[in-house]
Structure 1
């Protein structure tokens, strides 16, 4: 978990600025009481962060303390790992900035590309197509972003959707790599745009929640929900995936002879399944907002301690 007071903060200079913005907007870095150091408890905690009553009693007997003291230590230790509102604000602010810049670049790149409006052109003599410099750079930047997000998963608090998110990042990196090697760059670029456009609204809704602007969060979240359904459950499967599965073999029949074509197809369908899983999480949030008067809360990102 990133800590703005970390002495190695120079390694995260962009987040320093986000931290300062959060402070100016009224957020505070709340001091968390640290659990007293205990080597035996720390060793057990490193193995499993959720202890059953039997384990608590066993540790209490081993250390000659009461079970209540062990439980109190566990609560304090778990609280240390939970990111503060300011920390989560910085993370969302960073992602919102990235997705905004990325989506703006994608619009500028794709707007005057005829193959974006007619995906059949993505498959016409695609092996001889020359990749445009702006498309190449954007695919490389997107791949680098997912690599950084993948590495960041191991330094952050483990979330409810750790494994779906891990799988998503790995599949995204593999898809970008295979698509680049196979010269599927045009269809890849169109797909990246559909994936990035709704993430801006997701991160913006989180930011509004962290700042206490519940009305703005409500409006942003349901706008995000609409865009998510249209882009990830509509255009992505019935425009991008349809083009790859149905139109590509029709225009370039030799694709059916290559195993890599089916490997990429498998990765795409796994990504679609993950989108459906996340849609369930999002709809649960929408239900809570509409029927319990709760502000937007990203249930995907809760730590495992809250399960």
Structure 2
């Protein structure tokens, strides 16, 4: 097998299936870079900004209680009474143990700050790169051109790099879901990352580079503001988080509920079959459309929670809570 390792920018090339292996290696590299930067860069920045890693008092080890905790982290009164009777201790001792054990799993503000700082840096870099890539591309301003000469399209090196790095990043995010800060919407995020990875894979296989990078320009931009808002919360900059949150809310609605469905999704679902009628004869067209609609549904679900946050900020005295993505204990 002949492998072309010319990865210089600015040229065009045909995509090859074996190149998808780069994304796996890329995901592992990104995980290493992420862990190193969080430990040696963002942690120090957090310390400089006044955040501290507060030590938690550990619950005394008890095999029976640990087994029960591994099955369910929230115990009803009947469960507490049963364990108290089984271990011949008071219910208050069981509840005290559960409180301490739950606190052990609760991430510190510094940990959450480091995660959000890493993501904010990635999304800012990825979005800036994407804008620079598409700015002079006529097909970005007229999506109908994404479908012209469809079967003969070659991918420019800058687009190649961006799609490959995006695929690597979302693979790394999928891998890290299990050891990151536990989130309320773990399963929606899992579905989102799986759908995104599969879409980028099909984009590679089916010459959909152009329409997918147009979507990434819209989607990554909103995540910059989301992570920046979290950072302001963790640093207790109330005025700044108010500004960043409502800027994020506006950009989210415009990008994800207006431009994404009525520009990107419309182009794929309506304009592409009009220009390329043969697409409707292939099942992969409907698989991709289903995955895109799943992302759109997730955007609508998250919008509901974001609007609840906006209501709480404006009309109640509740502190800001990120119902979309932070843990229950945030």
Q: Same fold (TM over 0.5)?
A: yes
User: Which residue in 1 is equivalent to 2:133?
Assistant: 109
User: Which residue in 1 is equivalent to 2:246?
Assistant: 222
Q: Partners of 1:231 and 1:218 in 2: how far apart?
A: 20
Question: Does the C-alpha gap of structure 1 residues 133 and 203 become closer, same or farther in structure 2, counting only changes over 3 Å?
Answer: same
Q: Partners of 2:48 and 2:88 in 1: how far apart?
A: 48
Question: Does the C-alpha gap of structure 1 residues 10 and 282 become closer, same or farther in structure 2, counting only changes over 3 Å?
Answer: closer
- Which secondary structure does the structure 1 equivalent of 2:324 belong to? helix
Instruction: Please tell me whether residue 162 in structure 1 is matched to residue 162 in structure 2.
Output: no
Q: Partners of 1:111 and 1:293 in 2: how far apart?
A: 43
Deviations 1:225-283 (A, max 9, x none): 00000000000000000000111011111101100000000111111000000000100
Name which of 270, 280, 289 aligns with 2:294.
270
| Unaligned 5+ runs, structure 2 | 1-31
Q: Partners of 1:204 and 1:34 in 2: how far apart?
A: 32
Q: What is the deviation of 1:29?
A: 1.0
Q: Partners of 1:179 and 1:101 in 2: how far apart?
A: 22
User: Which residue in 1 is equivalent to 2:91?
Assistant: 67
Q: Partners of 2:48 and 2:182 in 1: how far apart?
A: 29
Instruction: Please tell me whether residue 13 in structure 1 is matched to residue 36 in structure 2.
Output: yes
User: Which residue in 2 is equivalent to 1:176?
Assistant: 200
Q: Partners of 1:220 and 1:200 in 2: how far apart?
A: 10
Q: Partners of 1:10 and 1:89 in 2: how far apart?
A: 17
Q: Which moved more, 1:58-67 or 1:294-303?
A: 294-303
Q: Partners of 1:295 and 1:218 in 2: how far apart?
A: 11
| Unaligned 5+ runs, structure 1 | 1-8
Name which of 257, 270, 273 aligns with 1:233.
257
- Which secondary structure does the structure 2 equivalent of 1:299 belong to? coil
Q: Is the 8 A contact 1:34 1:80 kept in 2?
A: yes
Instruction: Please tell me whether residue 243 in structure 1 is matched to residue 267 in structure 2.
Output: yes
Q: Is the 8 A contact 1:178 1:264 kept in 2?
A: yes
Matches within 5 A, 1:1-307: 12-16=35-39, 17-304=41-328
Question: Does the C-alpha gap of structure 1 residues 157 and 264 become closer, same or farther in structure 2, counting only changes over 3 Å?
Answer: same
Q: What is the deviation of 1:149?
A: 1.1
Question: Does the C-alpha gap of structure 1 residues 70 and 302 become closer, same or farther in structure 2, counting only changes over 3 Å?
Answer: farther
- Which secondary structure does the structure 2 equivalent of 1:158 belong to? coil
Q: Partners of 1:304 and 1:201 in 2: how far apart?
A: 21
RMSD of aligned C-alpha atoms? 1.5
Q: Partners of 1:130 and 1:136 in 2: how far apart?
A: 10
Q: Is the 8 A contact 2:163 2:200 kept in 1?
A: yes
Q: What is the deviation of 1:66?
A: 0.9
Question: Does the C-alpha gap of structure 1 residues 35 and 284 become closer, same or farther in structure 2, counting only changes over 3 Å?
Answer: same
TM-score by length of 1: 0.94
Q: Is the 8 A contact 2:139 2:146 kept in 1?
A: yes
Q: Partners of 1:157 and 1:98 in 2: how far apart?
A: 18
Q: Partners of 1:31 and 1:230 in 2: how far apart?
A: 42
Question: Does the C-alpha gap of structure 1 residues 54 and 217 become closer, same or farther in structure 2, counting only changes over 3 Å?
Answer: same
Q: Partners of 1:35 and 1:128 in 2: how far apart?
A: 63
Q: Is the 8 A contact 1:218 1:295 kept in 2?
A: no
Q: Is the 8 A contact 2:309 2:323 kept in 1?
A: yes
Q: What is the deviation of 1:181?
A: 0.5
